[in-house]
Structure formats: C-alpha cells, structure tokens
Structure 1
Amino acid sequence: MRRPAPLPNNPEKEAAPEATRPPRRGAGAADEVPTLQSALQDDASADVSSTDAASPDGTQPTSTRDVWRAARARRKALRSEIRRFTQRSRRRRIVWLGGIGAVVVLIGGSVAAAYSPLFAVQKITVVGAASLDPAAVEAALSDQLGTPLALVDTSEVKASLLAFPLIETYALEARPPHDLTVRIVERTPVGVIRSSAGYTLVDAAGVALSTTAEQPAGQPLIDIDGGVDSKAFQSAGLVVRSLPDDIRATLSGVRATTPDDVTLTLSTGMTVVWGSAEESALKALTLSAAMVKNPDAASIDVTSPDVAVVG
C-alpha cells in the first residue's frame, strides 16, 4: 500500500509581499517609523484643508461668527414676538400708571395749595348768635386772619371763645378759598339766682352767664336747696327747659328742695306742682290743656301727667 503524496504549500502565503510582513527587529525597523509618522501628519493636514475648502455642492462652511449672528437674530425675533403678544397688557399698564400718577399729582397739588397762602383766612362769619354780638365774636377770632384754612388752630379758637360764657357749643366750617364760618349754640338761661353779688343768670347746667345788680326781665327767680350743684337744681333746670314758650314767658319763680318736688310760680299768681322731671313733655301738654279749661285756677298739679288736679 502506497503512502499518499504530501499536500502542496499555499501559494498566497508564499507570494505575500514583503511590505505586509511584520518588520524585523534591527536596523530596518528603525528606518520605517518616521515613514509612518509622516503619513499620519499628511492625513491630518489633508483633513484640515478639506474643512476649509468648499463643500462639493458649492456652499461655504458655517463659522463661529455666523453662529453668533444667527443666535442674535433669533433673540431679536423672540423679543419682537414677546412685544407683539404683550402689547395689550403693556398698554393697560401704561393707562393704570398714568391714572395713578395723575391722582397723586392732583392730591399733592391740592394739599400743597391748601397749606399755602392761596387759601388763607380773610373773612370770619359767626352764625347762631342771638344774645351775643357776632361782631364781638369775630373780633375775638381776628388773630386767625391770614392763617391757611388747613392750619387754623382749634385750641386757640377755643381759648378765644371761652371769654363768652353764653356759648355752649361751637363748630368750625372752612369755606374755601378765604371764609371761616363759626357756628355757635348759645346756652339757654333757666333763671337767676340771687346772692350778695346781685342776680346771676344761669343755664340748666348751672353755668353762670352774667351777673347784674337787678333781676333781668323775663327770667324767673330760682330758689333751690343745695345750690346749682345739687340734683334738685338739675331737675328744676330740665323742667324749665321743657316748658312751652307761652308758659315759659309767664314763669316768675322756681322752687325745689328735692329732685321730686319742683314747683313753678307764674306771673298770674298760679302755682304749678310739677314733681320730678320725668315725663316733662307729657306734663307740659297736660298743663297747657288744664290752663285753657281753668284760666282762673289758683293751682294745678301735674305730678301725674294723666290727670291734672285743679285747685
């Protein structure tokens, strides 16, 4: 039996070029290294030059400046769109700010004018004076002339009006540009109290209004135990103030020892037993009706307002 013939060698391996074989160590390998480095540098140079060169379709490559310009244009367009969409709200904001500014300017101008000499007091008018002389009150307040209406000192006005005991209350009313009106309410006298100094006119609160040597006409003589500081005087004062004008004109005397036994004396000689100051309005109506029916009566008792007792 024969042995098979050996396989032939691979002709490709035998024909492989020398360049594909790994370099041999030695002097030859050292000579090939610079050749590889120079080839890599040539390839990099070729890539850089290819980026600077025009594209195959003829367009220029995008630079940093072009990118910056495009971004700026985009921001500008975005701002323009924002302004377009917010135009109505900005217009409303401008209108509101303009209105608020106008109001602030108006208020500021008004306040500045009010405290300026443009609104200084040039005329003082007194209203409500009956027993008092209005000219005397105006003269007492003359130091307020030339003062801006907004700066009129109420404490100084009060101090000036204290010289007039007949003034019970008052109110100041500024009437731009130059008028100051003083509205006063006079005290209502209820009678006179006799003392060593003479006859002192008093109101229902016991405030002394004036003192004269003789009894003033039309003012009843008040005889109260305890004086003007007592509760009996307070009750008598309320009774006198509740009387109708026709009965008040004929009143000549008032007596009381307690708050519940007020007695009136009329100029006709009639005595009216009033009692306390409670239900004085109803008692006044009962007394008026009883006097009409009994004009010659010596006394009338209205302590009970429902029924008048005629004596």
Structure 2
Amino acid sequence: MSIESSRNYSNRSARARIPRSLHDLVRRGSSAPEVCVKRPSGIPSAPRRPPLGTPNKARESEKHTEPIALAGMHESSISAGSMEAAASESGMADEQRKRRPASVISTHLASVLGSARLSGTQRRAIARATRERRRYERDEVRRFSRRGRGPRTLVLAAVGSILALAVVAGLAAYSPLMAVRAIEISGTARVDAAAVSASLGGQLGVPLALVDQAAVGRELSAYPLIESYSVRTRPPETLVVSVVERTPIGVLPVDGRYELVDAAGVVIQTAEAAQVGYPLLTTPSGDASGKGFRAAADVLRVLPSSFRGKVTAAKATTGDDVSLTLANGAAVIWGRADQSAVKAVVLEKLIAATTPATVASYDVSSPQDAVVTRR
C-alpha cells in the first residue's frame, strides 16, 4: 500500500479519535472509530469482524475490506491536531450522550480500540478508569444498603430492647426476689388489723404476681365488719390490703339483747345494753327483714353524721310511714324514703330556725311544704 493512499486515509480518519482514557470515552459518548495500524510487509491482514447489528450486506461487503496503514504515525497514537478536529466536528455536545451506562464501557472500549496496540499510558488510564467504575458501583451498593439498613436496625433494636425488658420483668415478678414478705392492712377502725394480717399469713413467700385473690377473700369473709376490700402489691415485697368497714345505722332489740346493724342488716356487734349514739330501730317483724327496716335504714343512711347522733329512735311499719324521734323529744314525720337527701337538708334548716324545746313535730314528708307543729 502506497504512502499517498495512507495519507489520504489519515485525512479521512481525522474525525476518528482514540480516547486517551475511559472517562474521555464516556464524556464524549462517541461511537467506535475505525482504527488500523501499520502492518509489516509480507504479513497478510486478518479480516475485521463487523460490529454487532451490522446488516448482512454490509457484513459481506466488509469481508473484503483490509485495514489501511496510517503512514507517518506511531503504532498506537494519532496526532493531537487530528484528535481536536475530530472532537470539534463530531458534534458531541449533545447532553443526552454525555454519559453512558458503565455496563457498556468495556464493550465500547473493545470496539474502539479494535486491533490497535495500546501504549502503557493508555493501558494505565483504562485500568484506572475501570477501578474507579468498580469503586463507584461498590459505593452505590453500600449507600443504598446503608440507607435501608439504618431504619431497620433502629426498629430491630427497639423491639429487642422491649422484649428484653419484658423478659427480665417477667422473670423478676415470678421469682423469689419479689415474694411477699410483709402484709399491710389499712382502713380499719373496729377491725383488729393485726388479726387480719395474721389470717393472711399463707401468702407470705408467694411471688407478688401469684398472690391468690380468692384465698384472700375467703380469709376476710370471716370478719363481718368488713364490707369491702381491695388488694394490691407494692414491689418488691409488700402486699397491701385496704378494707372498708360497715357503717352501723342503729340498734335492733332481739331477744333481750341489742344488735348493732348496718343498712344491709348485718350484725356488727351484740351487747346486753343499747349502744349509745345509735337510734333504736322498731319494725313489725322485730328484725332486719321486711320493707319497714329497709325504708328506715335508707333514711338513716343519708342523714349527715353530725345530725345522725341527734336521732334516738326510728320507726317504720311500711315503706311509706317512716318517722324519727329526736333527742329533745320532737317527732319527725318523714314519710316515704324517696327524696331523703332533700328532706334532710330541709329538716336541718327547720331545726336551726326554731327553738327545739317549743316544737312538737317537724313534717318533711313534702319537703316543698314542710310544716312545724308547736307544743
């Protein structure tokens, strides 16, 4: 092949440029130029493989095409002027072709360089670009993995902490470390607190979480003065029992004895003489059964504690004729047990507005029209 034809080919190939590095290739986004090197005389040229996607006719026409040596050029380089001309004429300013996927770089590079022999500088540039590409891919994988791993790690840590605390609390609650070693009784006045505490001795040594509520109820049912109770635990070792005692409302004479009863008719205390400070209850049956007792008990229960001590007797034959007797001898006609709270307020005002010694009775059966009868 003549030198002149080689020079002409060199001029035609001025538009093609071998990129000095992989980044140069990606930045330009150019297609693979056709590059040939000088072949020593006497060595036949190997047929060049056409690029993928080339039509069959183009492939057949290129089977007989031989590379043309670039005269006056180094085996692996082209003049800088030719490279600048190719860069200016190729129109690589298109923003859509400035970047190419990293997955096609190696294939693109192989098609660009073809059978060209690379210099050491070019090989190092390609190796450096390849390393940077792989480093970038690793960094991206780490970044996305870290982004998803952060919230997931926090959630797992929180769930693990909660489960650990629950396990520790459960083990501690059911262990001998939090067993009952002290019993505290509160709310007692007539009931012996020491006796109640002693009756609950079976709960000592039992873990607080395993205290038998039914057993506690059975022990407290032996005390009739206890109307209700509540049980709670106070870590690490105390069982607290709060009781509400029954409130006595009057005294029932039964077989020559006097029984102190509450509004439910439960006997709180029995004595030979009537207890001072409580009204004497009179009912048709003589006991805590019947409508008369329930009506009288409802009236006495709503009376203020300061006024209840002034009542010496309460009588009711039915639920509609409740009457009271005051300490000064005056009678109180109460009537039905309904509106007892209003009647109690009206009665207190009437007593405060009159001289009790001059009053025979107070009629509050109709609280809106109360009547005072003088002696």
Q: Taking structure 1 as the reference length, what is the TM-score of the superposition?
A: 0.72
What secondary structure, in the 3-state scheme, does the structure 2 residue paired with 1:183 have? strand
Could you say which residue in structure 1 is the equivalent of 2:152?
A: 93
Gaps of 5+ in 1: 1-54, 60-74
Q: What does the per-residue CA deviation read over 1:167-226, in whole Å, with 9 as the maximum and x for residues that have no partner? A: 111111211111221111111111121112722221111122232222222222211224
Could you say which residue in structure 1 is the equivalent of 2:345?
A: 285
Could you say which residue in structure 2 is the equivalent of 1:153?
A: 212
Q: Taking structure 2 as the reference length, what is the TM-score of the superposition?
A: 0.60
1:243 deviates by: 1.4
What secondary structure, in the 3-state scheme, does the structure 2 residue paired with 1:168 have? strand
Name the structure, 1 or 2, with higher relative contact order (CA <8 Å, separation 6+).
2
Q: Tell me which of 339, 346, 366 is aligned to 1:304.
A: 366
Q: Tell me which of 241, 258, 268 is aligned to 1:182.
A: 241
Mapping of 1:259-270 within 5 angstroms?
259-270=319-330
What is the identity, as a one-letter code, of the residue corresponding to 1:139?
A
Q: How far apart are the structure 1 equivalents of 2:249 and 2:145? A: 77
Could you say which residue in structure 1 is the equivalent of 2:316?
A: 256
Q: How far apart are the structure 1 equivalents of 2:176 and 2:327? A: 58
Q: Tell me which of 291, 315, 333 is aligned to 1:231.
A: 291
**Identity rate of aligned residues, in percent?**
44
Task: Kindly indicate whether the alpha-carbon contact (under 8 Å) linking 2:185 and 2:241 is maintained by their aligned counterparts in 1.
Answer: yes
In 2 relative to 1, CA 231–82 (structure 1 residues): closer, same or farther, beyond 3 Å?
Answer: farther
Mapping of 1:6-21 within 5 angstroms?
none
What is the identity, as a one-letter code, of the residue corresponding to 1:271?
A
Could you say which residue in structure 2 is the equivalent of 1:201?
A: 260
Could you say which residue in structure 2 is the equivalent of 1:84?
A: 143
Task: Kindly indicate whether the alpha-carbon contact (under 8 Å) linking 2:328 and 2:356 is maintained by their aligned counterparts in 1.
Answer: no
Q: Tell which structure's C-alpha radius of gyration is larger.
A: 1
1:114 deviates by: 0.8
Task: Kindly indicate whether the alpha-carbon contact (under 8 Å) linking 2:311 and 2:324 is maintained by their aligned counterparts in 1.
Answer: yes
Q: What does the per-residue CA deviation read over 1:43-95, in whole Å, with 9 as the maximum and x for residues that have no partner? A: xxxxxxxxxxxx98789xxxxxxxxxxxxxxx999787544322111122112
Q: How far apart are the structure 1 equivalents of 2:115 and 2:341? A: 119
Q: How far apart are the structure 2 equivalents of 1:56 and 1:281? A: 114
Task: Kindly indicate whether the alpha-carbon contact (under 8 Å) linking 1:120 and 1:145 is maintained by their aligned counterparts in 2.
Answer: yes
Task: Kindly indicate whether the alpha-carbon contact (under 8 Å) linking 1:169 and 1:186 is maintained by their aligned counterparts in 2.
Answer: yes
Q: How far apart are the structure 2 equivalents of 1:285 and 1:235? A: 18
Task: Kindly indicate whether the alpha-carbon contact (under 8 Å) linking 1:197 and 1:211 is maintained by their aligned counterparts in 2.
Answer: no
Could you say which residue in structure 2 is the equivalent of 1:123?
A: 182
Task: Kindly indicate whether the alpha-carbon contact (under 8 Å) linking 1:124 and 1:182 is maintained by their aligned counterparts in 2.
Answer: yes
Q: How far apart are the structure 1 equivalents of 2:242 and 2:268? A: 19
Q: What does the per-residue CA deviation read over 1:101-132, in whole Å, with 9 as the maximum and x for residues that have no partner? A: 11000011101101111111122111111222
Q: Tell me which of 270, 283, 300 is aligned to 1:240.
A: 300
Q: How far apart are the structure 2 equivalents of 1:254 and 1:186? A: 23
Q: Tell me which of 65, 88, 109 is aligned to 2:168.
A: 109
Give the total of aligned pairs: 243
1:268 deviates by: 2.0
